Amino acid sequence: MLKKFAESWIENGFGGAVLQKAEPFGEDYVRDEKSHYWTEALMRKVGIFKDAIIEHAANSGYDYLFLIDSDLVIDAELIEHLKSRDKEIVAEVFWALWDGCQMELPNAWMYDGFGFSEPGIPGKEEQRIFNEFIRKFREPGLYKVGMTGACTLISKSALLKGVSFAPIYNLTIKGEDRHFCIRAAALGIDIYLDTCYPAFHIYRESDLKRLDKERPPKR
């Protein structure tokens, strides 16, 4: 499928396409209608792939790198829209009903694993802050966030500053996207979330039945 895509990409005048065969990996990626089962090794594998892409983009002098997970459907105008935001790192919002959650949550948050308020905030205030972020991310706009991923435009300046998905050895937090965002912040790069062209997340195969009906319109 990738080979056919690369051939059609070139035939239609979009320039070169680079395919890099991955080394064999002994651990399977398991997912079902309940959840996706990520292990530390699998997350590291994805991080290695992404860093190889970053290295290629930086060495090739690309103006932008757009990283997108394969279970997302996006609007054809999204990339040009994200470019117009003129940010070093900007992602597009999408929503998912993660395993164990009672409501859909976005692909962005402010602190640590999935926090929206600083530690020590009283429960009612913490809930108010959470509700405010959820409401805000449902409205079209551009918002500074602490963490995001999966549908991200990275500018040349960020690539050359050394952004990476490699694990930061003195952190126990899990997930290559989290390490990417922490490193970016340490490099002085602000991270933004755009909410004008929400992507549709096919987290479960059953989501395909909702695609045409519930895919959010561009705003």
Q: Does domain 2-214 have CATH number 3.40.50?
A: no
The pTM (predicted TM-score) of the whole model is 0.90
DSSP 8-class letter at 106 = E
Contact (CB, 8 A) for 138 and 164? no
DSSP 8-class letter at 10 = H
Provide DSSP, 130-190. Answer: HHHHHHHHTSSSEEEESEE-SEEEEEHHHHHHT---SPPTT-----HHHHHHHHHHHTT--
What is the domain partition of the chain in residue ranges?
A: 2-214
**What does the pLDDT read at residue 219?**
58
**What does the pLDDT read at residue 6?**
85
**What does the pLDDT read at residue 216?**
59
- Distance, CA of 89 to CA of 156 (rounded, Å): 10
Q: Go through the chain and tell me how many residues it has.
A: 219
**What does the pLDDT read at residue 35?**
73
**What does the pLDDT read at residue 25?**
66
Mean pLDDT split into 10-residue runs, the chain, 219 residues: 86 82 72 74 89 96 96 95 98 87 92 93 95 97 98 98 97 94 98 97 86 66
Provide DSSP, 36-68. Answer: EE--HHHHHHHHHHHHHHHHHHHHTT-SEEEEE
Going edge to edge, which strands form the sheet with 151-155? 64-68, 151-155, 89-92, 191-194, 142-145
